[in-house]
Chains A and B, each alone.
Chain A
Amino acid sequence: QSALTQPASVSGSPGQSITISCTGTSSDVGGHNLVSWYQHHPGKAPKVMIFEVTKRPSGVSDRFSGSKSGNAASLTISGLQAEDEADYYCCSFRSPNILVFGGGTKVTVL
């Protein structure tokens, strides 16, 4: 079961906006509005930032936003801050009945 495709790394300066892409197929990203995004600081448990493509859990900053077009989803971080430096993973429901993660993107704040 192949993973979703994410860029290995993305960087930006404080205050800038960055976008992380997540490419799948019509069996996962393109076929369902069930894409989620996770922030993972090494040594800590991952944290959900976005679910159902665009929804933010309570307590997550509105600097984080999600979108989807066709078989590709995106996570945008606006007003980049030092604390945003982490690994980010996308995840999607994949027909008929499992979840699949992306390979992860390392975000560096310059």
Chain B
Amino acid sequence: QVQLVESGGGLVKPGGSLRLSCEASGLSFSDSYMSWIRQAPGKGLEYISDISSTSRSIYYADSVQGRFTISRDNAKKSLSLQMNSLRAEDTAVYYCATLHSSAVEHWGQGTLVTVSS
């Protein structure tokens, strides 16, 4: 059974930084394409970033390009998202997810990030 467990969410001031982590189990993590997806309060789902199994290919949505950095450690079966220069509009539940054929196959339960002064 695939489990993705996010951590690291919380309250941060505008302009601040936060690092999210995702621990994976029940899957061949080193073979998995991974992604971060978020949902702002009362809004829809939004793709943030994805990373290939070897970290060779990394992509970002325009809304976070230059501020967020995705990374992975296959030995630890973990995915990270470093978020800098945070804005109020980054307030959302952040989901860790696996991708297969450009579809989200497995989702974590999400971690809430609140950007507010």
Residues of A near any B CB (own CB < 8 A): 1, 3, 32, 34, 36, 38, 40, 45-48, 51-52, 57, 89, 91-93, 97-104
Could you give 5 example pairs across A and B, Cβ below 8 Å? A89-B44, A89-B45, A97-B57, A98-B47, A99-B102
Q: At the interface, yes or no: B31 with Cβ under 8 Å from chain A?
A: no
- Return B43 CB to nearest CB of chain A, in Å: 8
- From DSSP, what is the main secondary structure of chain B's interface residues? strand
Contact A34 B102 (CB under 8 A): yes
**B interface residues, tally (CB under 8 Å):** 25
Q: Are B47 and A99 in contact (CB under 8 A)?
A: yes
Residue B61 at the chain A interface, CB threshold 8 Å: yes
A47, B108: Cα distance in complex, Å: 11
* Chain A contact residues, majority secondary structure: strand
B35-54 CB contact bits vs A (8 Å, 1 = yes)? Answer: 10100000011110010000
Give chain B nearest CB distance to A65 CB in angstroms: 16
B103 touches A51 (CB 8 A): yes
Report the bound CA distance from A1 to B46 in whole Å: 10
Q: Are A45 and B109 in contact (CB under 8 A)?
A: yes
Please tell me which one of the listed residues A34, A47, A93, A103 contacts residue B44 in the complex, with CB atoms under 8 A apart. Answer: A103
Q: Is the Cβ of B61 less than 8 Å from the Cβ of A46? A: no
* With A99-B50, A104-B45: A34-B103 Cβ-Cβ less than 8 Å: yes
